Structure 1
Amino acid sequence: MNALILGMHKFYPSLLVFCLLAVFQVSAQSSEKFQIHSHNDYLQTVPFWTAYSAGASSIEVDLILKDGKLMAAHEAASIDPKRTIESLYLDPISEGIESGVISSINFHLLVDLKTEAYASLEVLLESMKDYEYLLYGAKNPAGLKLIISGNRPKPEDYGNYPEWMLFDYQSMELTNDLPWDKIGMVSLSFRQFSIWNGKGRIVEEQRVKIQNFIDLVHSFDKSVRFWGSPDSKSAWKAFHEMGEDYINTDHPIEAADYLSKLGTNIYQNTSKHEVYMPKFEVDGADVPVENVILMIGDGNGLAQISSALFSNDNQLNLTQLKNMGLIKTQAADDFTTDSAAGATAYATGEKTNNRAIGVDPDGKPLANLPDILDGYGFSSGIITTDQLTGATPASFYAHHPERDDSDQIAAYLPKSKLDLFIGGGGDTFESELGSLKSAGFTLLESLEQTEADRLGYFAAKGSLPKKLDGRGDYLLNSTVFAFDFFDQKDAPFFLIVEAANIDSGGHANSTSTIVSEMLDFDEVIGKVIQYVDANPNTLLIITADHETGGVSIPQGDIPSSTVELAYHSDDHTGIMVPVFAYGAHSGDFRGVYENSAVFHKIMNLVKQYHQK
């Protein structure tokens, strides 16, 4: 890649610009949010354009005066005659403006002089005469500024230089009598304040010392930068939070990408809920299992659960439970499962191919839990925040090799043994309404109890909104409604409750969606645990079909209910997912096992206590 770029730079300079902007494009950010200083930018494979494409506001070039020219190098031994401030910076800037690639100059050059200041500046002034049209001035307020660092003239001489030339002040002694109108920024070595290496958290005493200096510089209405500072995500975030104006980095693309996503990756929860304390009176007891409730958090891995925990006063209903295990999620044809294969394993006890709904790897229909349990006198129901043709709910009633064939999947609902369904996607079932009614379903306009044996409720014509977009307590109210419905039937029941949008948050790398959807799910979990305590012959199983996003939690703050999530992917991963159980025989779900084993554990208990 580097060889290709260098070859393009030699023969196709204009093409190079456009390719770099495409390859290195990051989220657009305003300078008020963060500013990057591209340290020793001339050492990048492609100087200037790498920093520019990252949105760097400050770009550093070291200059050595040799034979009357200013060479871009740190020491004399590394001088290359072709690498000058003109060739690496001034000419590309000029070409960029002429071609329209650079629409405005929203950056400055920090010129670090490695040779004697006055002689070097004399040559620099002469060199800049060919680029006066680029430079800042009263007639060009949007022009390019140069900030002189390294070897500099005496502060009392700053005023002898043109208005486009400012200076980098490097002292902790800040007084009102300094020539502030000619000071472009204040820079100091980070080691004057701290020995922190950018891992973990900076010692508080050192952090306060840095913060105080930043505040002091800001009191003079000037910008601050630290050189020799740690160059990591933890460091970038810490400096950003402290208000460093130009965050020093040798990795401008990575730093800009990380900092641009902080607003999405960090979430502070302001809607906390109380946690119900389980009674544990029959938890794990070998008592008859009359009801089975399977709750599936789509995409809900350990990091997603943890993020909700830390955002809710360090406690969840889910994390009160004692019986837990880990589930391996692989599909029949792929290491990383999708929701169709994952849910089919739960519904049928057989692993299948990704995208397949209720069929085996050869496309043959598999009997699912609602169909099988009907033979044991069970009623069954599905509640989801997804559309009812979504992969997870559909796996419990349909048999089709392609999850996206919504119309074909919808046709299976009237043929199912379900007694209750609640979810979105009503428009997909327009042609099935007659069949649903003929099958004995009463289709509700709202969640109001009725004497009917079979009920269906399309909660939305299409997709339901996310929790943060106004879904309200839909999932909680639907679950309470289902309990009332099944209690009236006076028969054992099997209920699936899916929180579908945790997965959506993982795909979108949206921390706010993950946390809010998981917290919504946890409120429902608390209500279900209460139901189990009141109905001790009930088994509750809570798990996920897979993890989504490759989520980790690099930072957080429990007192303020704030978490930062990081993402390895925008897709599913193959990591094991937790399984929690409560109530009758909940201890049977401890251990590490395949997702298909959940079906068989349920069926073993059904066969133990029920007859066909």
Structure 2
Amino acid sequence: MRRFITSLLALLLFLPFQVFAQSGAFQIHSHNDYLQTVPFWTAYAAGASSIEVDLILKDGQLMAAHEVESIDPKRTIESLYLDPIAEGVKTGLVSTAQFHLLVDLKTEAYSTLEILLKSMENYRELLFSQANPNGLKLIISGNRPKPSDYASYPEWMFFDYQSKELNKDLPWSKIGMVSLSFRQFSFWNGKGRMVEAERENVQNFIDLAHSYDRPVRFWGSPDSKSAWKAFYEMGEDYINTDHPMDAADYLGKLGENVYENNVKHEIYHPLFEGDGKEVPVKNVILMIGDGNGFAQISSALFSNGNQLNLTQLKNIGLVKTQAADDFTTDSAAGATAYATGHKTNNRAIGVDPEGNALENLPDILDGFGFSSGIVTTDQLTGATPASFYAHHPERDDEKQIAAYLPKSKLDLFVGGGGDTFTSELDKLEQAGYSLVDELENWKGEKIGYFASPTSLPKMLDGRGDYLRKSTEAALSFLDGKGVPFFLMVEAANIDSGGHENSTGMIVTETLDFDEVIGSVLEFADEHPGTLVLITADHETGGVSLPQGDIESNTVELAFHSDDHTGILVPIFAYGAHSGDFRGVYENTEVFQKIMKLVERYHMR
């Protein structure tokens, strides 16, 4: 049995969430812990600070049970708690008792405590004392002695006070916790938001108990993520739950999942003078927010004073993103669909499922007299930008992908990953590219700008307004050539935020993308005949938005996955023929719709 317990504890301690690093950010009460499949160890591995066991005195033994009918002779306070704790201390797996046992007496207090005191004699070395301040404390709940008798019990034994009437005359030195039924304050079921008047009553009682420097717990409280968060925010000291692992996982990630935006950007209000008009399309700007789904857009919206440049637009469609060989696409297959109009296998760039090269938009549009460019926050060999110039079945073969850039019909490229192109520099110059090192005064027929030798930093790491400045410079350069143009702009790191389940990264990267959208919309207003398309290759993270606060620009995101999902992604359109992009359709249709307009107004 000891070997089983030790092995089990070792397994539990290496679960992926480590809540012991919380440093008291939250504390969990494992309610009716003895009903867990693995009592004590589950709560301990979850970092629970308070662990509850119901006790019934039966035939001189303290049985862990709620009622006599459920008694199992093998389930005693010793077998479920005291022996495992002692074994843990002996093996070093339990270093200190950063938890207490809340012992809920179901039988008469004095007689039950008499037996409990005798039982604890066998575990004296575990127990709290002035000489052992990290020892185990017991807090007696349920049937208790009179408060006037509390002082007669040992220093390791404290009591659970259960009354709304708190005053300075109570024996506070022996009161370890103040507990009340949540139903004395509210009938909230843990869904949505608590009625404000009831919430204030709960908050007032917590504040009252804290004024006497004692922790608070509510039993019979709702047991859900919304409830855990609400009680945490109100300062409940021991959050009551039957699901300690889930509660620890959720609360432990709350700091990462909640983000408050302190830097709002100004919104450009489009003129809509040419929006949706069936006039010749001169320029096409395709903006791809990698991994950018509905929740990502919503998180940015509510973090920016409830407004975005993106959400000013009126023509909106929905895009199906499936790959040729998989329900859930990756960026390579997703971007290839936009660039070539063909479904392909995941990991493939610019080739069909059989590996045959596909013509991409820059190649095709060159025949119609267009110039083309790509701008990205990714490395230029990344799946999305590479799909607009390369033809290779494996997205991770960076050197082979880089070799396609000098052969492409691109007139402009801007992005990271310059080191990968070291062997291609001479070929790029021979192909007519002027390789520049700044975002202004671009001169030449073709421009290449390696913004970083490797990956560019994230917004949280100080990338700044690189994407906006790069896009504005690209628009100025392409417009200055005096011919129609195609420009692909990628915000790559929204996807990274989804993969890392980072709310802060998602919000800041999506807001950065939206600032660029504002600049592009302004350009479109100043250059009639420009069509702007804003979409995503796929959604990343299975993100939802359970809570937020518009007034403080705060959102909480929840994550179903750390990978891509098959959720529909929106496409927003502005400018000439923007109404053509309404509806629900495959990602390949974006290419087809663009080409239909090009063929209508331009000659080869």
Asked if the contact 1:449/1:485 (under 8 Å) is kept, the reply is no
Partner residue, 1:47: 39
Q: Match of 2:337?
A: 345
Contact 1:50 1:252 (8 Å CA) reproduced: yes
Question: SS of 2:22's equivalent?
Answer: coil
Contact 2:206 2:235 in 1 (8 A): yes
Question: Secondary structure of the equivalent of 1:423?
Answer: strand
- Percent same amino acid at aligned positions? 74
Shift of 1:57: 0.1
Does 441-450 or 559-568 show the bigger shift?
Answer: 441-450
Three-state SS of the structure 2 residue aligned to 1:563 is: strand
State the match for 2:347 in structure 1. Answer: 355
1:190 aligns with 2:214: no
Q: How far off is 1:553 after superposition? A: 0.4
1:233-278: CA deviations, max 9, x gaps? 0000000000000000000000000000110000010110111111
Choose the corresponding residue for 2:531, options 533, 539, 562: 539
Using the TM superposition, give the Cα deviation of residue 10 of structure 1 relative to its aligned residue in structure 2, in angstroms.
8.3
Candidates 191, 204, 222, aligned match of 1:199: 191
Work out whether residues 349 and 395 of structure 2, in 8 Å CA contact, stay in contact via their aligned partners in 1: yes
Q: Distance in 2 between the 1:15 and 1:469 partners?
A: 41
Picking from 576, 597, 604, the partner of 1:605 is 597
The answer for the alignment partner of 1:4 in structure 2 is none
Partners of 1:299 and 1:503 within 8 A in 2? yes
Larger displacement relative to structure 2 (10-19 or 585-594): 10-19
Cα distance in 2 for partners of 1:118, 1:316 equals: 66
For residues 442 and 11 of structure 2, the distance between their equivalents in structure 1, rounded to whole angstroms, comes to 64
Secondary structure of the residue that 1:447 maps to in structure 2?
coil
2: distance between equivalents of 1:316 and 1:495? 22
Give yes or no for contact 2:352–2:358 (8 Å, CA) kept in 1: yes
Instruction: Give 2:384's aligned amino acid.
Output: T
Q: CA RMSD in A?
A: 0.9
The 5-angstrom pairing of residues 82-231 of structure 1 reads 82-231=74-223
- Distance, in Å, in 1 between the alignment partners of 2:443 and 2:194 is 64
In structure 2, list runs of 5 or more residues that go unmatched. none
CA contact 1:290–1:492 (8 Å) conserved in 2: yes
Counterpart AA for 1:244: E
2:424 to 428, 432, 447: 432
Distance 1:293 1:117 in 2: 77
Match of 1:407 among 389, 399, 411: 399
**Given that residues 24 and 53 in structure 1 are in contact (C-alpha distance below 8 angstroms), is that contact kept between their aligned partners in structure 2?**
no
Matching residue of 1:446: 438
Post-superposition offset of 1:447: 1.3
Report the residue type matching 1:163 in the other structure. Answer: E
Alignment of 1:376-395 (within 5 A): 376-395=368-387
Deviates more, 1:345-354 or 1:479-488: 479-488
1:324 and 2:309 are equivalent in the alignment: no
* 2:28 match: 36
Q: Does the 8 A contact of 1:63 with 1:112 survive in 2?
A: yes
1:333 Cα shift? 0.1
- Are the aligned partners of 2:345 and 2:352 in contact in 1 as well (CA < 8 Å)? yes
Within 5 Å, which residues of 2 pair with 1:478-493?
478-493=470-485
Q: Does 1:247 align with 2:266?
A: no
Amino acid at match of 1:416: S
Residue 476 (structure 1) aligned to one of 447, 452, 468: 468
Report the alpha carbon displacement of residue 392 of structure 1 after superposing the two structures with TM. 0.2
Alignment-derived partner of residue 552 in structure 2: 560
Deviations 1:537-588, CA, capped at 9 Å, x for gaps: 1000000000000000000110110000000000000000000000000000
1:502 matches 2:494: yes
Tell me the residue number matched to 1:306: 298
1:11 is displaced (CA, Å) by 6.7
Aligned residue in 2 for 1:521 = 513
Find the counterpart in structure 1 of residue 574 from structure 2: 582
Q: Quick check: 2:22–2:252 contact (8 Å CA) kept in 1? A: no
TM-score (norm 1): 0.98
Report if aligned partners of 1:25, 1:53 keep a CA contact under 8 Å in 2: no
1:24·1:253 contact (CA, 8 Å) conserved in 2?
Answer: no
Q: Counterparts of 1:70-89 in structure 2 under 5 Å?
A: 70-89=62-81
- CA–CA separation in structure 1 for the residues paired with 2:410 and 2:590: 20
Distance 2:3 2:44 in 1: 21
Matches of 1:29 and 1:305 in 2, distance apart?
32
The CA deviation at 1:22 is 3.2
Q: Aligned partners of 1:118 and 1:176: how far apart in 2?
A: 25
2:361 maps to which residue? 369
What secondary structure is seen at the aligned counterpart in 1 of 2:62? strand
Deviation at 1:451, TM superposition (A): 2.5
User: Runs of 4 or more off by more than 3 Å in structure 1?
Assistant: 22-29
Conserved? CA contact 1:348–1:358, under 8 Å: yes
Q: Is the 8 A contact 2:49 2:238 kept in 1?
A: yes
CA distance in 2 between counterparts of 1:529 and 1:281 reads 12
| Residue equivalent to 1:6 | none
Unaligned stretches of 5+ in structure 1?
1-8
Paired position in structure 1 for 2:408: 416
Residues 301-321 of structure 1: CA deviation (Å, up to 9, x unaligned): 011001100111111000000
CA drift of 1:103 comes to 1.8
Instruction: Assess if the C-alpha contact under 8 Å between 1:542 and 1:579 holds in 2.
Output: yes
CA distance in 2, matches of 1:528, 1:257: 41
CA distance in 2: counterparts of 1:401 and 1:487, whole angstroms:
34
Contact 2:436 2:442 in 1 (8 A): no
Q: CA deviation at 1:295?
A: 0.1
Match of 1:596 in 2: 588
In 2, Cα distance between equivalents of 1:601 and 1:10: 69
Aligned to 1:61: 53
Residues in 1 aligned to 2:355 and 2:84: alpha-carbon distance in whole angstroms: 59
Name the structure 2 match of 1:286: 278
The residue type paired with residue 484 of structure 1 is S
| Structure 1 residues 312 and 50, CA gap change in structure 2 (3 angstroms) | same
Q: Measured at CA, do residues 24 and 457 of structure 1 come closer, stay the same or move farther in structure 2, by a change above 3 Å? A: closer
Q: Greater shift after overlay, 213-222 or 25-34?
A: 25-34
Report what 1:3 is aligned to.
Answer: none
Residues 24 and 54 of structure 1 are in contact (CA less than 8 Å); yes or no, is this contact kept in structure 2?
no
User: Aligned partners of 1:595, 1:495: CA distance in 2, in Å?
Assistant: 18
